[in-house]
Structure 1
Amino acid sequence: MLIGFAGLGRMGLPMASHLAWAGHTVLGYDPVLTRAPEDITLAGSMTDLAQAPLTISMLPDGATTRAFVERGLAGASRDHLHVVMGTVGPALVRELAETARVAVVDAPVSGSVSMAEAGTITTMVGASQEQFEQVLPVLGAMTAAQFHSGPVGAGSAAKLAVNAVLAALSQGVAEGLLIAEAGGLDLDSFYDVLRNSAAGAPYVSYKQEAFLSPDTAGVAAPVSLIRKDLGLALDLARAHRLTLPASEAAFAVLDYATSNGLGQGDMAQVLTALRLRNGSHTP
């Protein structure tokens, strides 16, 4: 199957590669990418992707996603299906589904870059049952688990809820490490306690290096991305007159981290941000 893929960034490129490895013909587009793996053909412009019967976008924000759907797919056939896999929020996805000339569903993903490379990320899908069954084989080539969360927009709502929990977990781990440090504990030893305690969620285990050795751990999900997603979650909450104290506190720290030059660092850099706010330094 010919699949158009817009957004060959840190997450999108390995996802597109998995499609190619599964036997699909992938026509990719990214404005800053000049070379791609041999199994992906680079398009000259985003409008070239409209020739495929199905397209996927893994773009960084709502503005670029809107531009691709409205302008890039302007020449697509009426039976074209577009899958929004970037995190842009349910309101925009539903708007596009109502106004675009093509059919639009959403399937944002949960997982890190390394998980995208391994094909072990999870996707939450907002679509009709018929559309879900149509995209399931394609999503199955890139992801390990696919959850039909409800109609269009439901996948994006599920993703925002998941990332609100992740942001709170990250904040909680950082604060726990600061408490342990204040109590004179060795952080490596304490992290072993944390991983094996009642608080030892899988996230706590696989983020150990990111929290304790940020200079060598690499970036799985940057502060700026989590800040964007949590901001969308808070927008959704405010639209429904919800007060979310933990999410608001986590967003404030992510905002502080971004304004202090930590936006491109891993989300575990909230620990560095909290140290900065408390006038302390990395031990």
Structure 2
Amino acid sequence: MLIGFAGLGRMGLPMASHLAWAGHTVLGYDPVLVEAPEDITLVASMAELARAPLTISMLPDGATTRTFVEEGLAGAAPDHLHVVMGTVGPAVVRELAATATVDVIDAPVSGSVSMAEAGTITTMVGASPEQYEKVLPVLHAMTAAQFHSGPVGAGSAAKLAVNAVLAALSQGVAEGLLLAEAGGLDLTSFYGVLRGSAAGAPYVGYKEEAFLSPDTAGVAAPVSLIRKDLGLALDLARTSGLTLPASEAVFAVLDHATANGLGQEDMAQVLTALRLRNGSRGA
């Protein structure tokens, strides 16, 4: 299948590569990228992607996604299907589905850059049953698990709920490490205790290096991205008349982290942000 892919960033590029490896012909567009793997054909404008029967966007925000759908796909065929895989929130996706000249569904993903490279990310899909069946073979090429969460917008709502939990987990691990440090514990030894305890969710295990050796662990998901997603989650909560005290507290810490120059660091750097708030830089 000919597939157009908009947004070849840290997550989008490996996802597009998996499509090519699965035998699809991939047209890619990114305003920054000037070179791509040979199995992806870069095009000069987003409008060139419209000649594919199916397009995917992995763009950073709702405004960019809206521009791509409304302007870039203006010349697409009426039966064109566009899949929003970036995290933009359910309101934007539902509005685009109602107003765009093409069919729009959402399938945001959960997982890190290394998981995108390995093809082990998860996607949550908001679509009709027919649209879901149509796009499922394409999603299989990029993701290890696919969940049909409901109609359009449901995938985005599920993603925001998942990331609210992840942000709270990250905050909880950081606070646990601070308490262990205050009690004179060796943090490496304590992390083993944490990993083997009732609190040892899979996230705790695979974020060990990011919390204990941030200088060598690399960046899986930056603070700025989690802050953006949690902000969208809080927007959804407010429009639904909900108060989420834990998420609001975590968002304040992410704000503090961003203000202290940690926005492009891994989300585990909430530990550094909390140390700064408490007047220390660690053991």
Q: TM-score range by the shorter chain?
A: over 0.9
Match of 1:247 in 2: 247
Match of 1:124 in 2: 124
> What is the one-letter code of the residue matched to 1:241?
G
> What is the one-letter code of the residue matched to 2:10?
R
> What is the one-letter code of the residue matched to 2:153?
G
- 1:3 partner SS: strand
Match of 1:161 in 2: 161
1:69 aligns with 2:69: yes
Tell me the percent identity: 87
Counterpart Cα distance in 2 of 1:73 and 1:115: 29
- 1:230 partner SS: helix
Counterpart Cα distance in 1 of 2:116 and 2:248: 29
What is the Cα deviation at residue 100 of structure 1?
Answer: 0.4
- 2:260 partner SS: helix
- 2:37 partner SS: coil
What is the Cα deviation at residue 32 of structure 1?
Answer: 0.3
Question: Which ranges of 4 or more aligned residues in structure 1 deviate by more than 2 Å?
Answer: none
Match of 1:87 in 2: 87
Give TM-score scaled by structure 1 length: 1.00
Give TM-score scaled by structure 2 length: 1.00
What is the Cα deviation at residue 282 of structure 1?
Answer: 2.7
- 2:50 partner SS: helix
Which structure 2 segments of 5+ residues have no match?
A: none
What is the Cα deviation at residue 41 of structure 1?
Answer: 0.2
Match of 2:175 in 1: 175
5 Å matches for 1:105-254? 105-254=105-254
> What is the one-letter code of the residue matched to 1:180?
A
Match of 1:14 in 2: 14
Counterpart Cα distance in 1 of 2:146 and 2:266: 26
Counterpart Cα distance in 1 of 2:158 and 2:146: 12
CA RMSD of aligned residues (A): 0.4
- 1:41 partner SS: strand
Counterpart Cα distance in 2 of 1:167 and 1:89: 16
Counterpart Cα distance in 2 of 1:128 and 1:281: 50
Counterpart Cα distance in 2 of 1:62 and 1:253: 24
Q: Deviations over 1:15-70 (max 9, x none)?
A: 00000000000000000000000000001100000000000000001110000000
Counterpart Cα distance in 2 of 1:221 and 1:59: 15
Counterpart Cα distance in 2 of 1:248 and 1:148: 28
Match of 1:32 in 2: 32
